[in-house]
């Protein structure tokens, strides 16, 4: 079976690294760095949207030229900010078990390609994924469905389960018509009860059971 994962907020908590990268850029503008809560709230729709939210939060006028400059500086810092990222509990063992069971694993993230590949290397995940699609690799991003559908295509097509943590992930799965398992401990902004999902879990030990149900098309009674 194809199992596609989001990255930030799903497999890893990268907010401290992103906070560090943003703080370097803001300090160069004479502005105070972001709090961790602000950082988590701004994550999810790609670097460009993150930078826009960062600028608004620190009253930096957003002209196209200014945004382009700060976005370039942010992504440059983002590529080297990997030391604070941590797996959510149980993630690595579950990925290993799913891989060993013969499932095809993919990664579909709005995180720009260079920082995404940098953190994949840092976390020892290079051999884990059969397909990686990151921000900027195609012309659209989540919640548009193309990224998710293209990742599944790269895996060989067929039935798939998408595992993510946010409203953006949930909407992408809904638009793509792909089964969705919501990790409730990530960066979502709304209550779980208001989100689309087929399964919801807060412990990665539950994921193998969800995969087994998805493989036979058994959707959770809690489907939203």
Kindly list the catalytic residues: 6
Residue 20 CA, chain-centre distance (Å), reads: 18
Rg (CA), the chain: 17
Return the structure tokens found at 125: 């995940």
Is 3 within 8 Å of 180 (Cβ atoms)? no
Is 155 within 8 Å of 4 (Cβ atoms)? yes
Question: For 143, phi and psi rounded to 5 degrees?
Answer: -85, 0
Residue indicated by tokens 């493989």 = 215
111-115 own/partner pairs: CB under 8 Å, 24+ apart: 111/7, 111/8, 111/14, 111/46, 111/47, 111/135, 112/46, 112/47, 112/75, 112/78, 112/136, 113/137, 114/75, 114/78, 114/79, 115/47, 115/75, 115/78, 115/79, 115/81, 115/82
Say how far apart CA 119 and CA 161 lie, in whole Å.
Answer: 23
**Does an H or E element contain 22, and which?**
helix 15-28
């Amino acid at each position: 079976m194809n199992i596609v994962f989001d990255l930030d907020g799903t497999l890893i908590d990268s907010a401290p690294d992103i906070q560090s990268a943003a703080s370097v850029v803001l300090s160069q503008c004479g502005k105070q760095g972001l709090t961790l809560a602000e950082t988590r709230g701004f994550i999810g729709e790609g670097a460009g949207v993150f930078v826009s939210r960062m600028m608004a939060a620190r009253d930096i006028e957003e002209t196209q030229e200014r945004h382009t400059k700060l976005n370039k500086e942010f992504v440059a810092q983002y590529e080297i900010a990997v030391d604070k990222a941590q797996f959510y509990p149980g993630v690595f063992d579950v990925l290993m078990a799913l891989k060993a069971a013969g499932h095809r694993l993919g990664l579909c993230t709005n995180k720009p390609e260079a920082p995404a590949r940098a953190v994949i290397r840092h976390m020892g995940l290079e051999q884990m994924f059969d397909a990686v699609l990151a921000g900027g690799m195609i012309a659209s991003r989540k919640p548009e469905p193309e990224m998710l559908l293209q990742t599944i295509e790269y895996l060989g097509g067929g039935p798939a389960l998408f595992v993510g943590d946010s409203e953006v992930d949930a909407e992408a799965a809904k638009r793509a018509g792909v089964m969705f398992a919501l990790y409730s401990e990530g960066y979502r902004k709304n209550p779980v009860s208001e989100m689309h999902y087929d399964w919801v879990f807060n412990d990665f030990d539950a994921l193998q059971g969800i995969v087994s149900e998805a493989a036979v098309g058994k959707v959770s009674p809690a489907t939203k």
